[in-house]
Structure 1
Amino acid sequence: MKNNILNAIIGASVVLVAVIIVSSSIDDVHPAEARPSTVKPFKLPKEMSIAGEDMPLDRLDVQESLDREILVNSYWQSNNLLMLKRSDKWFPVIAPIFASEGIPEDFKYLALIESGLQNIISPAGAAGPWQIMKATGLEAGLIINSEVDERYQMEKATRAACAYLKEAYELFGNWTLAAASYNMGMAGTGRRLQEQKVNSYYDLRLNSETARYVFRWAAVKHIHENLDEYGYVYHQTEGYKLPAFDTIQVQSAVVSWVDWAQEHGMTYKELRLYNPWIRSSKLTNSSNNTYAILVAK
């Protein structure tokens, strides 16, 4: 019995040694690629501005708030990569509109923190890439009903966001508070400024979401404009792209968008993908509006 146990131990040892030798020889021929994973804090920049306005980084509370957002967002790698890819698709559409409307280009990053440049709807009812509330959209001239919702049309939604931001800037006198009000609303922001007798976003006591909002906006901008510093390897050729489109004007009712799509050489899925503002399978169009339908070439 003892001999059997001894023989088993010796046999197992021989096999283990053989495996180690073979593994070592394989590693010598095909050495494993080193993939270090380093988690570390990042040094805050000594100076930072957002929409052309300096952040008071000499204040400890401001430093801590910004540091939190840089850490949280820089280590959310999957989300950042998706936002980078979508940015390559949509920033070329957004930036010229901002330029024509006199809005600082940094506001394009606001769409990233609002929706990640996705056509989503919030629990409060804010919709589209710019997360516009229905009342705000209607005030800006968007068509919003059960069949059409232009909050999902990038160009028109961007112009509606510009209209809001310009009005907020005129009211508050700076872009930082205009951005904060995009989250809280102009009335709520103005009320808190009056109640607390201050005139700066950085001096306001706010709800947690709005208190983080401007810092998150600044952090996402800083990370995306300094990718190497935060360990990202990304090339614009890896981003998402829009296809080339033809535009067809529709001025009448459409009984079936499914049939309309097939008549124009596309599927209903493609029609809804390229024209997400279409919210129904038909178009009544009792007001005889003109709608530009994008059809991939």
Structure 2
Amino acid sequence: MQDCSKPRRLVYLVAALFMAAGVIGCATAETSAPAGPPVQAAVQAERTAAPVQVQRPAHQSPGMVAYYPPPGRMDFCGEHVPLENQEVMERFDKEFTLVVYNHAQIYRWLKRRDGYFQWMEERLRRLNLPEDLKYVALAESEPPLSTADRKRWAEMRNDFERSPESALQYLGDLHRSFRSWSLALAAYCCGEKRIMDESRAQGQSDFYKMMLPQETERYVFKVLAIKAVLSDPARYGYELPKGARQR
């Protein structure tokens, strides 16, 4: 009797295991069964009502700043500026870039341009001087970067504000002395004696081949950059609306 009962208990145990496996399988099937039409509709409505919003990165700008290359050819007061020389072009390009993207300053100049240029051009014609010198006065509107040169800049600015004709006449005298408008501008910035001394020491009378104080070199190229932009502002994206000009 005991020998017969052991196989019977084993059969019961196997049967119980199969029944348990069947129950678990049914529960899993019910859980993974696809949702009916009402459930699918609810899920779809929830997704439609709350779309995912994508955040734009903080460093990503909505548009790109336009790039304006410097002019490849240029003259000042009738004198050729050797922009074909790579070193000269790099020195010019530095000041051109600082000027062409200085939006606030350029619009200030453009607002005054018509009345101011007309006034300045009349004086230049009366003194028999080239019209490009009108850009020199605009270069005085911003102080130099070097603190050491600010005193000289203040004196030059006062020259144009108190007696523009005297300042223009002085530029004419410097041109007669150096026979070069670029050297005349350099001498106007750092002094006639300094240019004469440097010219003798370097054995050179070409501004673009001389080594001069940094502020002096930058001053001359800044005047050239102002002329490049203001002589054709629309080329560089600047246009004043009607009625914005000042007299």
TM over 0.5: same fold?
A: yes
Looking at structure 2, the residues matched to 95 and 12 of structure 1 have their Cα atoms a distance apart, in angstroms, of 72
In the alignment, which residue of structure 2 is the partner of 1:204?
210
Secondary structure in 2 aligned to 1:81? helix
Unaligned runs of at least 5 residues, structure 1: 1-9, 21-34, 117-121, 138-150, 242-297
| Greater fraction of residues in helix | 2
Aligned 8 A contact 2:82 2:88 in 1: yes
Deviations 1:79-136 (CA, angstroms, capped at 9, x unpaired)? 11111112234222111001111111111111111126xxxxx8416547x514xxxx
Secondary structure in 2 aligned to 1:106? helix
Number of paired residues?
191
In the alignment, which residue of structure 2 is the partner of 1:175?
181
Aligned 8 A contact 2:110 2:230 in 1: yes
> 2:109 is matched with which residue: 68, 71, 83?
83
After superposition, residues 1-297 of structure 1 pair within 5 angstroms as 16-17=50-51, 36-42=63-69, 44-115=70-141, 123-124=150-151, 126-127=153-154, 131-132=157-158, 152-153=161-162, 157-234=163-240, 237-241=243-247
Q: Which moved more, 1:225-234 or 1:185-194?
A: 225-234
TM-score, with length taken from structure 2:
0.68
Looking at structure 1, the residues matched to 46 and 91 of structure 2 have their Cα atoms a distance apart, in angstroms, of 58
- CA gap of 1:240–1:171, structure 2 versus 1, over 3 A, is same
Looking at structure 2, the residues matched to 175 and 238 of structure 1 have their Cα atoms a distance apart, in angstroms, of 34
Secondary structure in 2 aligned to 1:102? coil
Unaligned runs of at least 5 residues, structure 2: 1-43, 54-61, 143-148
Structural RMSD (CA): 2.7
Higher RCO by CA contacts (8 Å cutoff, separation 6 or greater):
2
Cα drift, residue 205 of structure 1: 0.5
TM-score, with length taken from structure 1:
0.57
Looking at structure 2, the residues matched to 236 and 198 of structure 1 have their Cα atoms a distance apart, in angstroms, of 49
Looking at structure 2, the residues matched to 224 and 89 of structure 1 have their Cα atoms a distance apart, in angstroms, of 14
